[in-house]
Structures are given as structure tokens and as C-alpha cells.
């Protein structure tokens, strides 16, 4: 008689402790994934800012080169380009 009661109790499903442990494991997994997502978003923004800074620096350097080249171009009446 007891073996029949034990087998029917085992067939009913999970206990409350098993269910709560599953919820805790799932919560830890979700929280860690959210942390990784936030971290990845910050790194992405930092990389974008570095890319914009490098692009702006390149643009400024090209502008300076163009201005320097325009100053170094000799005029028709001068042999020395610095004297203009």
C-alpha cells in the first residue's frame, strides 16, 4: 500500500523547492545576459565615438595639408615660395 502511495506522489510532478530553484537559475541567467547587453552597448558607443574622432582628426589634417600646400605654392614673381 505504501509503495503505491509513494509512486503516485512521485508521478505528480515537481515540488515547490524544485520549481523555485529553476526560477532562481533562470533569473540569474537573465540578469547576467542583461549585464552583458548593457556592457556591450557601452563598448559599442565608445567605439563609435573613437571612429568619429579619428574621422574628424583626418579631416582636420587634410585641411591643414591643403592650407600648407596653398602657402607653399610659388608665385609667378618669386623664386622663394616663402617670400611670396
Q: What is the pLDDT of residue 11?
A: 66
How far is residue 22's CA from residue 1's CA, in Å, rounded to a whole number?
32
Q: With the C-alpha atoms ordered 28, 31, 35, 40, is the resulting torsion angle positive or negative?
A: positive
Q: What is the pLDDT of residue 2?
A: 57
Position with higher pLDDT, 84 vs 69: 69
* All structural domains of the chain with their residue ranges: 37-67
pTM for the whole thing? 0.51
For the segment 25-63, what is each residue's pLDDT rounded down to a tens digit?
Answer: 999 999 999 999 999 999 999 999 999 999 999 999 999
How far is residue 17's CA from residue 47's CA, in Å, rounded to a whole number?
45
Amino acid at each position: 500500500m505504501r509503495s503505491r502511495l509513494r509512486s503516485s506522489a512521485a508521478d505528480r510532478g515537481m515540488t515547490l523547492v524544485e520549481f523555485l530553484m529553476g526560477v532562481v537559475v533562470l533569473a540569474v541567467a537573465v540578469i547576467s545576459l542583461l549585464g552583458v547587453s548593457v556592457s556591450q552597448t557601452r563598448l559599442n558607443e565608445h567605439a563609435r565615438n573613437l571612429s568619429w574622432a579619428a574621422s574628424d582628426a583626418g579631416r582636420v589634417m587634410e585641411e591643414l595639408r591643403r592650407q600648407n600646400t596653398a602657402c607653399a605654392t610659388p608665385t609667378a614673381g618669386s623664386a622663394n615660395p616663402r617670400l611670396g
